[in-house]
Chains A and B, each alone.
Chain A
């Protein structure tokens, strides 16, 4: 069976209906996906069987315990049945029933099609991940999570809009990247938990026990060579299977709709929605780069050097992960899968309607302030020159300047006296100021996002006359 054209036809979908949710080729492709899932789980069942773990049943279920392998075996069987059903039903897509139900689509879209809920969900997910890291990093739980996400992906393929966005050749590697990020996060917690457990028992970390030296040649070089070959093979296959999408010739007066940055810059593009170009495009990226270079100099925690740990570096790891997972990867997901025409947010099962209306009327802080006081915006008399205008403009934007000044100048001091007291003592003044300003700048993005969504705040300081907006 030649599966390459199969996969591509299943992604590109030739059909008479304009937007068919299921077609014979979709069902046929899915049967293969389920079959692969089945094979993966057979392997896992075998592993569980070898390990011989048991699950203790709760008292109401009669107590006792059942082998983990049995559970996985049942699950694998179900997968195989599902795969067979797909194989045998692919000729009648109209009556096919193993699809993503509409109520589930509506429920998922209700969350993800609203940037507020999406961001809240990723942040809450992040906190839960930290809280339940002990449980989540167990191999069986990790495997179950992988299965859940793959099942979600597979069954969602029965939706036309989902297939358009996930199956776009541009986006396929991003889907893969999500799984890779998930895997490495899991590996980190798995190893960190182990060392943390050992530390609690007064044992040294695994890395310092297992520090047998190996030879560069052949151990390292061979590994590198195999990786090289595997990566090349993957790239070649990828290049053959997924065609690079070509668009119409570039034109200065026609911008594709939506117009997306390369995927790794989608975080920056999302930032541009909330901040002025010079901030989101120049200042913040520089601060991100400079800040990451500064980490070794502001970090005074000597623990966790050369081994995985979470408990010994709680603050550092949490801060970094928050910046990386919800703020960077989360924004890549938002930009890739959820932003559609006119840069509106769409659900993953929602049709990309160019005419979708989202009310986004935004208000500057100065307008809130002066109109709130019942006064007009301070404005220089018409025809006055720069020096006459300047005091009026500064007065108009005074609330914004005060807010920013408080945020970047006063807040570090307040935090030094309260939550960051220990940090301030350990770091000294200069290091602490660098550190606190970096943290505050990082927090500035979610803060502005939340303010934009909650009160439609546009800019803290808005001086379009001088191209200065914050």
Chain B
């Protein structure tokens, strides 16, 4: 093995020596003749320009068409999506609904009868500015929108999320809720029933509780 390697390297070095012994003088290759330009090539604008432009245009045409088509499709899509927001049929209970005669709601009571289905408490109280009123409070905490619980024993609405508490009349008094619960519309319908209208809201801090649409006189009972 060793011998073989040695022999090989010896042979190789002999070759190198042989090559070095005969230095070849570099031969300059003959230059090819300069081609004569065809007459058409001289007129660049006339010949090449047109070709190049049409080539570029040909390349871009599908891209432009493709992107326009995509833009158009997306636009139609978006419009469709917008249309989606206005369904033909709305399977929601109407915002106005009757809740029975005022006599169903005696003074000093908070009715949770409509809470599960409609998200309102019907309150009949004289705790707000000493007036005997019936009104409907939306069961949405004014802090972050959880549904508080009406605690009969403590006579308050208490929110399970961050502990806001509201008096029976809806005024906030504990926890982080910054403003009272909101009233929704309440009126005495022609047939003597109370009618809640959830499409309107009345905020105490805006002075909207003075609005006569936000309550019904409780002395009617």
B109 at interface (Cβ–Cβ under 8 A)? Answer: no
- What's the Cα separation between A430 and B190 when bound, in Å? 68
Among the listed stretches A205-213, A310-318, A341-349, A421-429, which one makes contact with chain B, having 4 or more residues with CB under 8 Å of it? Answer: A341-349
Interface size grouping (class) on chain B = 20 to 34
Evaluate whether A355 and B153 lie within 8 angstroms (CB atoms) in the complex, with A253-B139, A343-B162 already known: yes
Chain A residue, CB-CB nearest to B147: A255
- What's the Cα separation between A272 and B115 when bound, in Å? 25
Evaluate whether A275 and B163 lie within 8 angstroms (CB atoms) in the complex, with A253-B147, A464-B205 already known: no
In the complex, which of the residues A255, A274, A383 contacts B176, with contact meaning CB atoms closer than 8 Å? A274
Q: Tell me which residues from 331 to 352 in chain A have a Cβ below 8 Å from any Cβ of chain B.
A: 341-344
Evaluate whether A342 and B174 lie within 8 angstroms (CB atoms) in the complex, with A272-B143, A277-B143 already known: no
A418 at interface (Cβ–Cβ under 8 A)? Answer: no
A260 to chain B, nearest CB (A): 9
> B174, A361: Cβ atoms under 8 Å?
yes
> B151, A355: Cβ atoms under 8 Å?
yes
> A255, B160: Cβ atoms under 8 Å?
yes
Please give, as numbers and ranges, the residues of chain B lying within 8 Å of A467 by CB-CB distance. 178
> B162, A254: Cβ atoms under 8 Å?
no
Please give, as numbers and ranges, the residues of chain A lying within 8 Å of B98 by CB-CB distance. none
Please give, as numbers and ranges, the residues of chain A lying within 8 Å of B168 by CB-CB distance. none
Chain A contact residues: over half helix, strand or loop, or mixed? loop
Please give, as numbers and ranges, the residues of chain A lying within 8 Å of B144 by CB-CB distance. 272, 277, 281
In the complex, which of the residues A253, A269, A343 contacts B159, with contact meaning CB atoms closer than 8 Å? A343
B161 at interface (Cβ–Cβ under 8 A)? Answer: yes
In the complex, which of the residues A252, A274, A277, A343 contacts B160, with contact meaning CB atoms closer than 8 Å? A343
Chain A residue, CB-CB nearest to B173: A361
Please give, as numbers and ranges, the residues of chain B lying within 8 Å of A246 by CB-CB distance. none
B149 at interface (Cβ–Cβ under 8 A)? Answer: yes
- What's the Cα separation between A3 and B149 when bound, in Å? 41
> A253, B178: Cβ atoms under 8 Å?
no
A462 at interface (Cβ–Cβ under 8 A)? Answer: yes
| A-to-B contact residues, CB < 8 Å | 251-259, 269, 272-277, 281, 341-344, 354-355, 357, 359-362, 382-383, 458-459, 462, 464-465, 467, 469
* Known contacts A276-B178, A343-B159, then 20 further A-B pairs from the complex at CB < 8 Å, ordered by chain A residue: A251-B116, A253-B115, A253-B116, A253-B139, A255-B148, A257-B160, A258-B161, A269-B161, A272-B143, A273-B163, A274-B176, A342-B149, A342-B158, A342-B163, A343-B175, A357-B154, A361-B174, A382-B207, A383-B207, A464-B205
| B-to-A contact residues, CB < 8 Å | 115-119, 139, 143-144, 146-149, 151, 153-154, 158-163, 165, 173-176, 178-179, 205-207, 210
